[in-house]
Structure 1
Amino acid sequence: MVSSKRVYNWYIALVAAMCMVLYGYDASVFNAAQGSDNWLDWFNLDTKRDTNLIGLVNTAYTIGAIVAGWFFGGPTADYFGRRVGMAVGCILTIAATFMQAFAPYHNLGCFIGGRVLIGIGQGLALTAGPIYIGEVSPPEIRGQIMTFWQMFYSVGSFIAYWIAYACNANKAKLGHWDWRMVVIFQMLVPIIILILLPFQPESPRWWIKRHNNVEEAKKALRQIRDTEEEVEFEVQTIREAIEYENEAVTGGGRSSYKALFKDPSVRKRLYLAFVLNVGQQLSGQGTLNSYSSAIYKTIWTSTETINLINALNATMGILFTLNAVWVADRFGRRWLFIVGAIGMGICMMIVPVVGMTTPDVISAKGTATKTQPVGISIVFLLFLFIFFYKPSWGATTWIWTSEVFSMNVRAQAVGMCSQMQNVANTIFQQFFPIFLAKQGLKCLFFFMATNFLLAIFVWFCIPETMKVPLEEIDTLFGGQNHVVKGEQMLHATDAHHANEKNSIDVQQRETRREIDV
């Protein structure tokens, strides 16, 4: 039977995982907004004339997220705590929501400014969130809990797309509120997170690393571990690892970006995680999430139909991500990566083949689309793509990234690696609309090739991290066992202190004898 403390452990981890709703919602809200004629009219945009400008609106978010993730997310989470990093991100998201929803008529600059600010907020939250989850979760269920990090991305998309679908169905009544309602609901989850965060413990590893406060670390662990023996063992393990990292790795106990490149094993992990996070987006999911409406317009003419497909896609995404709960800590990270990449590659090979080998139907307006059976088959294949993506490169990329770095560099590394997703998106999505306009569905062959290459990369380069304690993962990459080395250093220090104490006691006894004489 699951203990109450284990249930509470799940609860605080899921509160942190709700930060991913912000990302999923925002990634989908722009896709939904650009499908609204009222949004285009409010900002005086034309989908054909202003392709680059519309791409800039999407890129503005990623620029803010990259800057925050690379330069502010790690230091904020390290200095002020994981909870503060998440809270500040939520506050900025709420402020940015108002900027976007109430941007003046034809003032696209205000809307873009809101997109930049929301990117900064999410860059902070998406750095602190996975670190917190990894640091409070026991190693035997860490993969299962981190699965919900990706699932909440799908929850964000689910909320955004169904709201967009409902608003589009009632756009005659709502007018310009059809897109405003979609944007305003973006602040719902951040408000919930801000209410819940103050009532849950800070990361025990942060207490020891930042303040060397063992008692607060034990207090936090007692809320989420079943026995005092577990608490004492974990605190001792954390202390030993941090002792080694402070003196031998970081140098003097200060976390800095230099430490990422000082240790060869850390550098290796950083570069591998960069590839995985870039690969996650170049698999095709990042582009599909932002431009699925544009892709579906080559198949369907009805905006309502496209919004319904997007909403159903987000719904299936939640269910598909749950598959990782059962397999992440059973078959391992490598298995999920390889099977997912091969499955996605096959889907991205079949979709353009179907598109090229079936005839077009010319509408009265001269627009070329596909017949309904062909359209349904293509949509099914894109849903199948999501089936492979969500539990593998969706969930497992975050799991692997959050667990492979040692405490002294974890915040900076996770922030940088997670934002490599946005670096890839910023570069690729600038020219994808043009790529799609000129090549149609044939552009998906690019994603086919990328996925097959990713499967090969994982096979040769990525080690298995399933159920390995955070403090001992360095050994998988040719590094030292921080726990063993830290234990030796702590024992040496304790022995030194004991010798000093014995020497002082002897001196005190001799002094007392002299006084007595």
Structure 2
Amino acid sequence: MAVSVSSKRAYNWFVSLVAAACMVLYGYDASVFNSVQGSKNWVAYFNHPSSPTIGSINTAYTVGAIFGGFFCGGPIADFLGRKVGMATGCVLVIIATFMQTFAPRHNLACFIAGRCIIGIGQGIALTAGPIYIGELAPPEIRGQIMTFWQMFYSVGSFICFWINYACTKNVPQLGEWDWKLVVIFQLMVPILILATLPTIPGSPRWFIKHGNNIEKARAALIRVRDTEEEVEEEIMQIREAIEYEKEAISGNYSALWKDKSLRKRMYLALVLNAGQQITGQGSLNSYSTKIYSKIFTSDSKIALINALNATFGILFTLNAMWIVDRFGRKILLIAGGIGMGFCMIIAAAVETETPTMANGAKTEPVGIAIVFLMFLFIFFYKPSWGATVWIWTSEVFSMNVRAQAVGMASQTQNVANTIFQQFFPTFLDHDGFYAFYFFAGINFLLAVFVFFFIPETKKVTLEEIDTLFGGANHVVQGEEVLAHQKAVQAPRQVNEKPRSVAVENVEYK
């Protein structure tokens, strides 16, 4: 029995990690453009684009991601399935990678179009992935598994920055491939995901919602649950929740506006996801090369710092595995916000209150101190506002709106990024590290927001999470709906088979 439990739990982790690999796409691409901006060959290949043009390249990606997440991700994941959503996103990433790598010389439009398409693909994949994990993972380890969702963002950055570091050390031999290699390696992960998707089950909740296919749902759950009792109990909970949502609220996306409890969750999720990007992490990830150039003059040293940052990001995210389900989501978000705020204050003070050398760089001790503080910042960020925001967002919405709501909420990250990254480079040029005081204030405000408005969701089943937000218990209410349906059907069965029912009644007595 122990072997059976162990093997099924291990398989549950495997299917979740396949879905979580979608986040590698995000982490890699978010780091690609940060990396290639430092390549003189890339700058020359595209005819020395101006600063506004470089900003447009970043915007093209985020606009594509917003479109994919808001308008495509939810419908695809809902009507075609979670696995189809992940596959669609991967195919678009592959197409866009070739467009960027082999864009004709000086044809920046092709490169920008590739960035836009890759954004659409990631918007679709990043909607389906966390929903799939949340719907397959048992409640008691859902937070641990979802930790890998954020950790795989760091894995994507890790791969990208180390490839870029290797390329910066071999520019004479590589020539223009010093940046093309960084871009084309993005093919690796979507191909791996497409190869492994056929080996994992579909979502049991999706099977029941679309066609009430109980047998397929049962077959999927049998592969990831330890006992038949668990399988049957979960199927009944899913059916009850879906029936209640159809009868009492709405079976479609209109419930997001009709149901007061869902509206409340949507507002909270939008704030959390936007907050994730204005903690300072979004700017550090997109412009760390530009930020560190104010401290160091060596391109390879900056590339090495970026690579080490991504490496430690993986380790720091793993901290969430043992604390997110033990201490809960709320305490992590509060502690993370406070810790990040202090890191930003100290980093700003160290940079602005120390002398600058003649070459425009800082002394080595000051540089080391600032890099340490930036690493300390991600120590607080990764397990809290990095991993926990995704965990919370993926688990708080009911089945009828989950795909669309998660897509809209998660893409608020790109909305915030698009708006903020337009003025952050100018902010940084004019005010330098004084900009970090702004981030400190934002982080403290986010911690206060969580304390007053965000409820704890650890170890609550997806079907019963509505009660935390003033909504009805969908399982209990759904049980009443199903009981009423059976009561209505019972007289028909009596008329059709009165003799057998009579015998049945005698036997029960």
TM over 0.5: yes
Could you say what the CA RMSD is over the residues aligned between the two structures, in angstroms? 1.1
Query: Equivalent residue of 2:297, what SS?
Result: coil
1:20-55 Cα deviation digits (max 9, x unpaired) = 000000000110010111111111125xxx111111
Tell me the amino acid that sits aligned with residue 268 of structure 2.
Answer: L
After TM superposition, list the pairs within 5 Å mapping 1:273-284 onto structure 2.
Answer: 273-284=269-280
Query: Who is 1:123 aligned against?
Result: 123
Identity %: 67
TM-score (norm 2): 0.97
One of 403, 410, 421 as aligned partner of 2:395: 403
Query: Who is 1:29 aligned against?
Result: 32
State the distance in 2 between where 1:424 and 1:372 align: 34
Deviation at 1:505, TM superposition (A): 2.8
Preserved contact between residue 27 and residue 289 of structure 1 (Cα < 8 Å): yes
Query: Who is 1:39 aligned against?
Result: 42
1:413-446 Cα deviation digits (max 9, x unpaired) = 0000000000000000011111111011111111
State the distance in 2 between where 1:245 and 1:489 align: 10
State the distance in 1 between where 2:228 and 2:498 align: 36
1:464 aligns with 2:456: yes
Tell me the amino acid that sits aligned with residue 35 of structure 1.
Answer: G
Query: Who is 2:229 aligned against?
Result: 229
1:109-155 Cα deviation digits (max 9, x unpaired) = 00000000000000000000000000000000000000000000000
TM-score (norm 1): 0.95
State the distance in 2 between where 1:507 and 1:355 align: 88
Tell me the amino acid that sits aligned with residue 325 of structure 1.
Answer: M
Deviation at 1:503, TM superposition (A): 2.3
State the distance in 2 between where 1:172 and 1:280 align: 39
Query: Who is 1:513 aligned against?
Result: none
One of 353, 358, 374 as aligned partner of 2:354: 358
1:396-421 Cα deviation digits (max 9, x unpaired) = 00000000000000000000000000
State the distance in 1 between where 2:72 and 2:335 align: 35
1:74 aligns with 2:82: no
Query: Who is 2:475 aligned against?
Result: 483
Query: Who is 2:93 aligned against?
Result: 93
Query: Who is 2:335 aligned against?
Result: 339
Query: Who is 1:5 aligned against?
Result: 8
Query: Who is 1:512 aligned against?
Result: none
1:42-100 Cα deviation digits (max 9, x unpaired) = 11125xxx111111101110000001100110000000100000000000000000000
Query: Equivalent residue of 1:202, what SS?
Result: coil
Query: Who is 1:312 aligned against?
Result: 308
Deviation at 1:506, TM superposition (A): 4.4
Deviation at 1:165, TM superposition (A): 0.2
Deviation at 1:200, TM superposition (A): 1.0
State the distance in 1 between where 2:26 and 2:180 align: 18
Query: Equivalent residue of 1:181, what SS?
Result: helix
* Count of aligned pairs: 498
Deviation at 1:508, TM superposition (A): 12
Query: Who is 2:295 aligned against?
Result: 299
Tell me the amino acid that sits aligned with residue 203 of structure 2.
Answer: S
Preserved contact between residue 96 and residue 114 of structure 1 (Cα < 8 Å): yes
Query: Who is 2:59 aligned against?
Result: 59
Unaligned runs of 5+ residues in structure 2 are: 502-509
Preserved contact between residue 328 and residue 336 of structure 1 (Cα < 8 Å): yes
Preserved contact between residue 128 and residue 411 of structure 1 (Cα < 8 Å): yes
State the distance in 2 between where 1:380 and 1:507 align: 81
Query: Who is 2:197 aligned against?
Result: 197
Query: Equivalent residue of 1:405, what SS?
Result: coil
Tell me the amino acid that sits aligned with residue 445 of structure 1.
Answer: Y
Deviation at 1:362, TM superposition (A): 1.1
Query: Who is 1:393 aligned against?
Result: 385
State the distance in 1 between where 2:499 and 2:365 align: 93
Query: Who is 2:420 aligned against?
Result: 428
Query: Who is 2:266 aligned against?
Result: 270
1:229-278 Cα deviation digits (max 9, x unpaired) = 0000000000000000111111xx3x22x221110000000000000000
Q: Which runs of 4+ in 1 moved over 3 A?
A: 506-509
State the distance in 2 between where 1:506 and 1:380 align: 79
State the distance in 1 between where 2:142 and 2:500 align: 52
Query: Equivalent residue of 1:471, what SS?
Result: helix
Query: Who is 1:446 aligned against?
Result: 438
State the distance in 1 between where 2:463 and 2:318 align: 27
Preserved contact between residue 401 and residue 414 of structure 1 (Cα < 8 Å): yes
Tell me the amino acid that sits aligned with residue 351 of structure 1.
Answer: A
1:501 aligns with 2:493: yes
State the distance in 1 between where 2:424 and 2:53 align: 13
Tell me the amino acid that sits aligned with residue 33 of structure 2.
Answer: F
Tell me the amino acid that sits aligned with residue 372 of structure 2.
Answer: F
After TM superposition, list the pairs within 5 Å mapping 1:172-187 onto structure 2.
Answer: 172-187=172-187
1:141 aligns with 2:141: yes
Preserved contact between residue 51 and residue 433 of structure 1 (Cα < 8 Å): no
Query: Equivalent residue of 2:361, what SS?
Result: strand
State the distance in 2 between where 1:301 and 1:200 align: 48
Query: Equivalent residue of 1:370, what SS?
Result: coil
Unaligned runs of 5+ residues in structure 1 are: 510-517
Query: Who is 1:514 aligned against?
Result: none
State the distance in 2 between where 1:169 and 1:181 align: 13
Query: Who is 1:515 aligned against?
Result: none
Query: Equivalent residue of 2:325, what SS?
Result: coil
State the distance in 1 between where 2:490 and 2:167 align: 71
State the distance in 1 between where 2:55 and 2:190 align: 26
Deviation at 1:196, TM superposition (A): 0.3
Deviation at 1:225, TM superposition (A): 0.4
1:155 aligns with 2:160: no
